Structure formats: C-alpha cells, structure tokens
Amino acid sequence: MIGITISVMQKKRNTMAKLKITGKQLRTLGYPEGPVISLAKNILEKQYRHQTLQEALVVLKNVLDAPIEYANDPVLAPIAEKLLPKPEAEGVEVSLNQQGIQFNVFGSEHIEPGAMNQMYQAAKLPVAVGGALMPDAHHGYGLPIGGVLAVENAVIPYGVGVDIGCRMCLSVFDINPAELKQKENYFTRELNEATLFGSGKQFENATNHEIMDSHLFNEIKILKPLQFRAAKQLGSSGSGNHFVEFGVVEITKKDEILGISPGNYLGLLSHSGSRALGANIAHHYTKIAKQKRRLPGEANNLAWLSMTEAEGIEYWLAMNLAGDYAAACHLVIHDKIARQLGRKPVKRVENHHNFAWKEMLDEKEVIVHRKGATPAGKNVLGIIPGSMTAPGFIVKGKGELASINSASHGAGRRLSRTAAMGSIILNALKDELKKHEVKLIGGGVDEAPFAYKNIEAVMQSQKALVDILGKFIPRIVKMDGAHIKPWHKTRNEIEGE
C-alpha cells in the first residue's frame, strides 16, 4: 500500500501551521511589482504550505536568481515564466494543418490523454513529416515526454527540451557484484565523492576537459557568458530524476554488438544532462523561434527555426555542443570512479534521449527530435532505466521505421512530482527500498518507484522496437536529496495522531 487515504492525510496537514508570505517579503527579495507577486504567494502557500517561511523564501530567491533553471519545474515553472523576458509579438503567424500527419503509438494503454493531445498538435505542424509516441509518454512542454517527431529542414528547440543531451551511461566492470553488499560503505563513499547533486550546484574548482576549449564558446554570442559556469558544473548531476548508482548487471545472452559474455557484473549507471548550459541554450533559441513564428495556443512551444536561417544553424551547433558537454559530464564521473576501483570497464553503453539528429526517412534527410526517447536504429545499443528499485534494460535497436528508430527512455511517470509528494509517504518508500535491498542516498518521495509506470509492462509494449540483452538492478542509488522535507511524515507518525 502506497500510503494512507487522502482524507486522513488532509486531516493531519490541516492541524499544522500554514505558510503565509507577504508581498513586502517578496519585494524585499527583489521580486518586481506585478502579477508575479500574487502568483508566487499563491503557489508557495499552497504547494509549500508545510515548510517554514525561511525555507519558502530560499526557494523563491533561487527562482528569482535563475528562473531559466525552473522553466520546466512542475510546481515553480509559472513563477519562472513570469520572471523570464517575454518575446516581443512579432514575426509570422503560422497556422497548423487541419489534417495532421499520421503517427504510431506504442503502448497506448499506458499513455495519458495530455500526452496524446500534445502529439496531435505536433503532428499538425507544417514542417512535420513523421512521428511516434513511446509507451512511457506523458505530458511535457512542446513535444510530450516520449514524443518523436521528424521534420523537414527545421529544428524545434522545445522538441529537444530544456535538458539538452540528457542521457544514460553504463560502465560494466568485471567485479563480483556481491562486493556491493560486502563493501557497501566503500561504494557509498565513492558515489558521494564522484559527483555533485542539486539545482544550480557548482564545484569549487573546475575540471579540465577539452570540451571547455571548444571554439563555439567564442563564436556564438550566447555561449561565452555560460562558459565559466559550465566549467564549474562539469561532472555534476543536477536534480529531479537524475541519478548515479551502483548495481548488478545481468547479461542474459551473447551478442556480438554488446561484446560481453553472459554472467553477472558490477555496473555503474548515470542519468543526467547538460545542466545550466543546455537550459540557457534552450530558452534563448525558443524565445527567438517564438518571435519568428507565432503558433496558436499551446502549439506556440513548438515554434521552429529553419536550418537555412542563421539562428537555426546557431542552435544546431549550440545543441550539439551541449550534447557533447553532457557526455563529458558522465565520463568525468565514470572515469573518477573507475580510477578509485582500479579497473577499466569491460564495456560502456551510453545514449542521449533528449536530442535532435539528422537521419534518413523515406530516402530523404530529416531532423528527428527525440524528447524522452531512446535511439533504436538497427544494432544501436542503449539503456532504458526503470526506477530506484525497478531494473533498467540494456537494449539493441531493431531499426523499426514505425517508431522512427526509437524506443522509450524509461518507465515514464505515473504521478507528477506534486501528486507524488501529496500521496506517497516516506515510510512507504523506505519499505519498498528495503524490499528490493536498495540503499538510497538523497532522493525523496517525488522519485519513489510508485510515481513511475511498470517498466516490465512498458518493455512488453515495445518488443518490436528493441531486443533486451541484459538488465541493470539498482543496489546503491544517489540522487538529489532536496525533496526530503520534514513534513513528509512517516506512516506511524500520521496514523498515530
């Protein structure tokens, strides 16, 4: 059972002191006069009502200082949007096609209506030529998470997403995975020392890496001011659903492409993207795209840049730099831990799942946007994670054109973060971790396994898209711990009152 009934939880929460924020306090923080004051008050008093005033003001100050980093936050995005510069109402008005292109849906029984509606809108774009929706799909910004869209001679910044180059990386070590239990403290220490979690967090000293010497930092105007911060965030992991974890790798079949003999190995798996660098690139070029092409309603988030325009070419170069930067972040983490283990991995498997690629479709070059989707071309290796307790899968693509050579990027959310924090209690999470013998460092109920769809059912829905070559079973999981708050009472504390 996930938790207790909502009525009992509500009764418990109603007995607690309610958060009250004044407009004067917001103005003192630096909030401008206008609708953002009342909006911020309402959101914080409702969604953060069981936190202290000091904690709430810290949250508000963080949003004010870096609104772009909260542009995709499920709770704070409306505040961030009011603080971000608004695009001027100029450019060409673009109408959607009456009849959208056809697109294939995999695992429709797992997909919420909001994601379907977003995909129908994307299919009506004049530049769209192909699409697919993965079984882990859920509502997002622009394209739904789990959406795949092929377009002609254009790129959609929000078709890629804010976290450009968000990706998976798995290092497989020829080490007996039983050591994870025998030396749990040792492996826990290595995770704690290898990376840094938290929105906006930076290392005191930058890591030297060739990615920071890219000529694009000097040639593209927006990138130069981002270079110093990017250097200090290289090798960090961010927040949300990002993680670094040790686990057991089970290779179930011999495969020439994977090149690992069947058996059990120790694995290191990471999930994160391009940090502030990618977020700033996404916002900057989305703003330009919206200025150049004004689409109706929510489709406005699907504004595109032509690949014949200077801005489109710039975004393409900046996006690829952010993708390379994200890859470098993972390798910095994996190389640190490999040195500590004194072993080189016998195999690394890695893939983006928030990106755009130039590919061939119907003998024509197109740009394929995968926003929360794994590349699954013929013999292409990838990682599809489950949750902090559910297994991830090492897969090989079958090159299925019906999915535009794509598969899911994970299990997909069943509950939003807000819904998860309002309905899952900490004891339920602790019980689930104990049941699956998983040690969690950081992380909160917003990322609890109950918030995610059943990964086994999702994989069943895409048997035509990928072959499963092995599993990754989590054992020691590190995530951002910012969401564990005092008001997440345990089951005993709630039921005892």
Question: What pLDDT tens digit does each residue of the chain (497 aa) get?
Answer: 444 333 333 334 433 467 889 988 988 888 888 889 989 988 988 888 888 898 889 889 888 988 888 887 888 989 988 898 765 556 788 889 989 999 999 999 989 999 999 999 999 999 999 999 999 999 988 899 999 999 999 999 999 999 999 999 999 999 999 999 999 999 999 999 999 998 888 998 888 899 999 999 999 999 999 999 999 999 999 999 999 999 999 998 899 999 999 999 999 999 999 999 999 999 999 999 999 999 998 899 999 999 999 999 999 999 999 999 999 999 999 999 999 999 999 999 999 999 999 999 999 999 999 999 999 999 999 999 999 999 999 999 999 999 999 999 999 999 988 889 889 999 999 999 999 999 999 988 999 999 999 999 999 999 999 999 999 999 999 999 754 443 333 222 222 22
Kindly give, in sequence order, each residue whose CB lies less than 8 Å from that of residue 120, ignoring residues fewer than 6 positions away: 100
In this structure, are 55 and 171 located in the same domain? no
Task: Classify 181 as helix, strand or coil.
Answer: helix
The residue from 41, 63, 83 where one domain ends is 83
User: Considering the domain boundaries, does residue 105 fall inside one?
Assistant: no
DSSP assignment of 253-303 equals S--TTT---SEEEEEEEEEE--HHHHHHHHHHHHHHHHHHEE-SGGGGGG-
Identity of the amino acid at 459: M
**Structure token digits, residue 375:** 């590349």
CA gap 111, 453 in Å, rounded: 10
**Structure token digits, residue 424:** 């899952």
In this structure, are 274 and 410 located in the same domain? yes
Residue 259 CA: distances (Å) to CA of 172, 255, 347: 11, 6, 8
User: Considering the domain boundaries, does residue 458 fall inside one?
Assistant: yes
CA gap 351, 252 in Å, rounded: 21
**Structure token digits, residue 89:** 């109402």
**Structure token digits, residue 52:** 């202290």
Exposed / middle / buried, residue 110 (Cβ in 10 Å: 0-12, 13-18, 19+): buried
- Quick one: pLDDT at residue 14? 39
- Quick one: pLDDT at residue 70? 84
Kindly give, in sequence order, each residue whose CB lies less than 8 Å from that of residue 268, ignoring residues fewer than 6 positions away: 170, 171, 173, 244, 245, 246, 334, 337, 345
In this structure, are 268 and 408 located in the same domain? yes
CA gap 289, 180 in Å, rounded: 48
Structure pTM? Answer: 0.81
Per DSSP (E only), the strands in 372-415 are 373-375, 381-384, 392-397, 406-408
The residue from 83, 108, 137 where one domain ends is 83
* Apex 471 CA angle, 456 and 198, nearest 5: 90
CATH code of 473's domain? 3.90.1860.10
In this structure, are 207 and 347 located in the same domain? yes
Residue 354 CA: distances (Å) to CA of 371, 406, 481: 5, 12, 24
Domain that holds residue 329: 158-495
User: Considering the domain boundaries, does residue 75 fall inside one?
Assistant: yes
In this structure, are 79 and 174 located in the same domain? no
CA gap 116, 105 in Å, rounded: 9
In this structure, are 76 and 179 located in the same domain? no
User: Considering the domain boundaries, does residue 385 fall inside one?
Assistant: yes
User: Considering the domain boundaries, does residue 103 fall inside one?
Assistant: no
- Quick one: pLDDT at residue 2? 43
CA gap 381, 466 in Å, rounded: 9
2: left (phi over 0), alpha (psi -120 to 50) or beta: alpha
**Structure token digits, residue 228:** 């110093």
CA gap 259, 314 in Å, rounded: 38
User: Considering the domain boundaries, does residue 386 fall inside one?
Assistant: yes
Give the distance between the most distant pair of CA atoms in the chain: 67
User: Considering the domain boundaries, does residue 111 fall inside one?
Assistant: no
User: Considering the domain boundaries, does residue 91 fall inside one?
Assistant: no
CA gap 447, 9 in Å, rounded: 19
- Quick one: pLDDT at residue 255? 96
Single out the residue of 354, 460, 406, 414 nearest to residue 132, CA to CA. Answer: 406
Number of compact structural domains in the chain: 2
- Quick one: pLDDT at residue 421? 87
CA 442 to chain CA centroid, Å, is 17
Residue 387 in contact with residue 453, Cβ under 8 Å? no
In this structure, are 349 and 439 located in the same domain? yes
- Quick one: pLDDT at residue 19? 87
In this structure, are 388 and 269 located in the same domain? yes
The residue from 26, 53, 83 where one domain ends is 83
In this structure, are 232 and 377 located in the same domain? yes
CA gap 122, 368 in Å, rounded: 13
